[in-house]
Amino acid sequence: APPVQQRMAQIELRAGEYDAVERRLLALIDKLDPKRDAALRARALITLASSYVRRNAFEKADEAYVEAIALRGDANDPEVLGLAYLGRGIALAQHARFDEASAALGRARIELETAGDALGVAQVDVNLGDFLVMRHRPADALPMLESAAQRFERLGAREGLVYTLVEIAGVERELLDPAAALAATERFWPPEAHTSNPRMQWIATRARIEALAASGRLAEAESLVERVRTHADPVRDAALRTEVEAVAARIALARGDRAGALRLANVALTEGLRQSDRLLYARTLSLKGAALRDGGSNDEAGVAVAGLRDLAASSGDEAIALGAVLAEADQAWAERRRDVALRAYAAAMQRAERLDMPSALVAVGARYVEALIDASHLDEARSIGGRLAPWADRDLSAAWVQVLLYRALDRADAERSALAAATRLAGDGVLPDVTQAPAGASNAR
């Protein structure tokens, strides 16, 4: 019976069987008359669109949501309309149409509150938090995500809670609070005890890998990377597997393994990664350029920088644009165009200040300070280093800047104290050679 087919598809959706959802519902929708079976067809379209969202097929999802809204727009069906507007908001946000997406979520919230759907309202809130994350406003996103997590927990919505905690862990990393990120992952670890959806289990595993790596627990992170390589489905988890290889490249560089980092970056830099996580793709491309420069391959690094510049132009993403400016500064420095590089670092620092994203501010500031020290501009270096000092007790790049500054200022006691802090934060990783003047050496930190 058609209603049973729709319910079966919902069960398959929760189990992460997205191919089965699409096969079942495409066949079912073909049999449902838009006039006679409007309500059921709309529900089937929403479930189908949900599977598309989970596979990053956002244009297909948007088409399905639009049809569902058209089918029930004149009916008193707030639950279906609420879910359709919720899904459409998610799809629109993936194309950076944030004003339209926010309007869709606003309509969704009204409809779902009218329907008394507390779970749906919580889903609206977590997606509003996601929009703030996508717009690189992590400090604003955090309280909204924490509120949504509390709602999911009260409702016993396990998968919604796991997803929200994954988002919280990511926000805490951008805020340079690895301890808080790790604490968020503890709440869903091990993932199989908190969700029966294998796809969500691997998403949770990626979040755990990143939190462990940010905390200097590289061996534990590498163990989970191997688990993904061995057990994640090569087809259904293809995007996730590629994302994890990008994270593994960062771990390799933190180990001091430049060749390994370069190899893993090349594995990860696929069109699939560009589609599934554009910012991670940009950061991996930047890592590739840094690894090539560290190995003396400036010409090849220049190709990576050009690719990053093209990505920034096409994406319209401010964080990616900032990364491109920073990479151009690093490239100019490596090519001994020092005045050009210093101007580019200054421009990147101004953009990072406007972005108000601690991870970006420290990434830019750390490289800028190294260059300023090497150029004997110690007053400017001290000023920029002071901006990074608030994170020196929890972020390796910020801590390493203090080591370099105190060394340049010939303050041996303070340098030793800063070096002890940096060593603690590095955990299983390695520190740059303090006897060198390593402009760009902390590229992956």
Q: What is the pLDDT of residues 260-303, one digit of tens each?
A: 999 999 999 999 999 999 999 999 999 999 999 999 999 999 99
Mean pLDDT of 8-14: 95
DSSP 248-267: HHHHHHHTT-HHHHHHHHHH
Give the residue among 52, 53, 144, 69 at the shortest CA–CA distance from 104. Answer: 69
Helices (H) and strands (E) in the chain, counts: 23, 0
Query: Looking at the predicted structure, is the pLDDT value of residue 352 above 80?
Result: yes
Average pLDDT, the chain: 95
Tokens of 9: 């598809």
Mean pLDDT of 334-357: 96
Q: Name the band, by pLDDT with cuts 50, 70 and 90, for residue 438.
A: very low
Q: Name the band, by pLDDT with cuts 50, 70 and 90, for residue 433.
A: low
Give the residue among 392, 351, 373, 382 at the shortest CA–CA distance from 436. Answer: 373
State the pLDDT at residue 281: 98
Query: pLDDT for 394-404, tens place per residue?
Result: 999 999 999 99
Query: Looking at the predicted structure, is the pLDDT value of residue 436 above 80?
Result: no
Mean pLDDT of 58-72: 96
Lowest-pLDDT range of 232-236, 246-250, 433-437: 433-437
Chain-centroid distance, C-alpha 202? 15
Please give the Cα distance from 47 to 61 (Å, whole number).
Answer: 10
Please give the Cα distance from 252 to 288 (Å, whole number).
Answer: 12
State the pLDDT at residue 403: 97
Give the residue among 55, 46, 49 at the shortest CA–CA distance from 82. Answer: 46
Classify each residue of 335-354 as buried b or exposed e, where b means 16 or more C-beta atoms within 10 Å of its C-beta: eeeeeebbebbbbbbebbee
State the pLDDT at residue 96: 85
Lowest-pLDDT range of 34-38, 73-77, 130-134, 186-190: 73-77
> Is the pTM here over 0.85, yes or no?
yes
Mean pLDDT of 375-393: 97
Give the residue among 296, 361, 295 at the shortest CA–CA distance from 322. Answer: 361
CA atoms in the 13 A half-sphere facing the CB of 8: 13
State the pLDDT at residue 41: 97
State the pLDDT at residue 432: 80
Query: pLDDT for 74-129, tens place per residue?
Result: 898 999 999 999 999 999 998 889 999 999 999 999 999 999 999 999 999 999 99
Query: Looking at the predicted structure, is the pLDDT value of residue 442 above 70?
Result: no
Query: pLDDT for 161-181, tens place per residue?
Result: 999 999 999 999 999 999 999
Mean pLDDT of 316-325: 96
Please give the Cα distance from 2 to 202 (Å, whole number).
Answer: 32
Query: pLDDT for 200-230, tens place per residue?
Result: 999 999 999 999 999 999 999 999 999 999 9
Query: Looking at the predicted structure, is the pLDDT value of residue 370 above 70?
Result: yes
Give the residue among 425, 45, 428 at the shortest CA–CA distance from 221. Answer: 428
